[in-house]
């Protein structure tokens, strides 16, 4: 059930998030799925709201393309979560763009959406604190939300990924190859 989030000007200033979401879905433990528009760009948030309405810095915001990649990965994530719930060995990871990855991995009972970075001179990516770890129950609620959010945020239907451009070069695309290993 979508709920409206209403913010006063002062509350908005606390997080620099000007919220007039067209869609908002509680996915559990104070975490919500909602949209925002900043400088004409739409972002999809998975973020904790204080008192069910005040955005906190605890969460993530995805561009439309990255959200679309997350959407594309849902059926794979479902399979990975199912395997985990059956105590089977599981590893799934998908690059959403800009070093953001979604992953499900044995040993960690969560769906993790997180930005990584490649330190100068390093060959392996490292996780940053920018991310959310969702319980499987939260993931299922997120999934439900993502399956209807485009009715409220129709520009999600118009996403044309960078790699759909015939001149796209994956190695020079900052979205697809944000950091180059040495």
- Give the footprint of Zn ion on this chain (CB under 5 A): 162-163, 173, 175-176
Q: Which is nearer to Zn ion, 35 or 69 (CB)?
A: 69
Longest dimension (CA), the chain: 49
* CB contact set of 90 (below 8 Å; sequence gap of 6+): 80, 83, 84, 104, 105, 106
Q: Which is nearer to Zn ion, 5 or 162 (CB)?
A: 162
Range 50-53, long-range pairs (CB < 8 A, 24+ positions): 52/3, 52/5, 52/26, 53/5, 53/6, 53/7, 53/11
Residue 158 CB, nearest distance to Zn ion (Å)?
Answer: 17
The total number of residues shown for the chain amounts to 182
């Amino acid at each position: 059930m979508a709920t409206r989030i209403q913010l006063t000007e002062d509350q908005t200033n606390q997080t620099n998030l000007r919220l007039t979401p067209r869609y908002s879905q509680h996915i559990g433990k104070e975490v919500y799925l909602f949209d925002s528009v900043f400088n004409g760009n739409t972002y999809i948030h998975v973020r904790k709201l204080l008192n069910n309405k005040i955005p906190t810095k605890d969460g993530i915001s995805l561009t439309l393309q990255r959200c679309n990649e997350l959407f594309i990965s849902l059926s794979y994530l479902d399979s990975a979560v199912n395997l985990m719930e059956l105590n089977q060995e599981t590893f799934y990871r998908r690059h959403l763009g800009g070093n953001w990855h979604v992953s499900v991995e044995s040993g960690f009972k969560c769906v993790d959406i997180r930005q990584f970075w490649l330190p100068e001179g390093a060959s392996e990516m490292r996780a940053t604190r920018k991310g959310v770890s969702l319980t499987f129950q939260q993931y299922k609620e997120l999934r439900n939300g993502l399956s209807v959010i485009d009715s409220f945020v129709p520009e999600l239907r118009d996403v044309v990924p960078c790699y759909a451009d015939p001149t796209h070069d994956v190695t020079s695309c900052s979205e697809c190859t944000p950091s180059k290993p040495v």
